[in-house]
Amino acid sequence: MAFFQILTVVAFILVAKPSTSSSACENSTISTNFSQTKINYRETSNPSKTSTESFKNYIKTSCNSTTYPSICYSSLSPYAAKIEADPTKLCIVSLSLAYKAAKSASSTISKILKKNNMTGIAEQVVQDCFVNVKDSIGELKDSLDSLFHLDGADRKFQINNIKTWVSASITDDQTCSDGFDEMNVDSTFTEKIRNLVLDVARKTSNALYFINNNLY
């Protein structure tokens, strides 16, 4: 795999502005510190239209077996020319998108906590959710970092760690949602948080499917 090419793709994913039209139901750099290192995104290939369509078909076929195929295809298809038909690139890009969604959710929850005058149970539940999402971000970051450092000697051990971290990330997202249900907290802003975290969980679930089935 072209290591620099994948790094540029991930950097582009992490710095690109999120779409304002997507919803949870619809749909930088990988290092020990994502925020301190920058890699400029550059086009590394110029595939023909036929090739791009072929790569999109590969993504569509791959996504059809995931738990959330529609979200999977809508989020990954813009990167078809970069993923090509490479299963490892598919894992990396899908996990990068989950990481980006988690970062976005964390930023929004932080703003809600600062701007809304919440008290009592509502504030505690949102605070707990914020902590869970931050934990999810850390686990996804560790997973991505490990994906870029797979080697022959410890490859199986590293892949098992990646699977554990990604699974834990999904659990953290679920814990956030459960908190709203258990404490019966409901309002406009909590529904917004639910949708954001649900989007993270679904994208992470799809990424885990690819990791389970494409990394050996």
Each of the 216 residues of the chain gets a pLDDT tens digit; together they read 444 455 555 655 666 654 433 333 333 323 333 333 222 323 334 556 678 899 999 999 999 999 999 999 999 999 999 999 999 999 999 999 999 999 999 999 999 888 877 778 888 889 999 999 999 999 999 999 999 888 778 899 999 999 999 999 999 999 998 888 777 776 777 888 999 999 999 999 999 999 999 988
> CA 22: distance to chain centroid?
15
Q: Give the helix ranges, DSSP H, for the chain.
A: 3-15, 49-63, 69-76, 80-83, 87-115, 120-147, 155-182, 188-214
What values do phi and psi take at 52, rounded to 5?
-60, -45
Give the C-alpha separation, 66 to 85, whole Å: 17
Give the global pTM.
0.79
For residue 15 the two structure tokens come to 């710095």
For residue 195 the two structure tokens come to 């949708």
- DSSP string for 11-34: HHHHHSPPPSS--TT----SSS-T
Which residues are CB-contacts of 1 (< 8 A; sequence separation ≥ 6)? 86, 88, 89
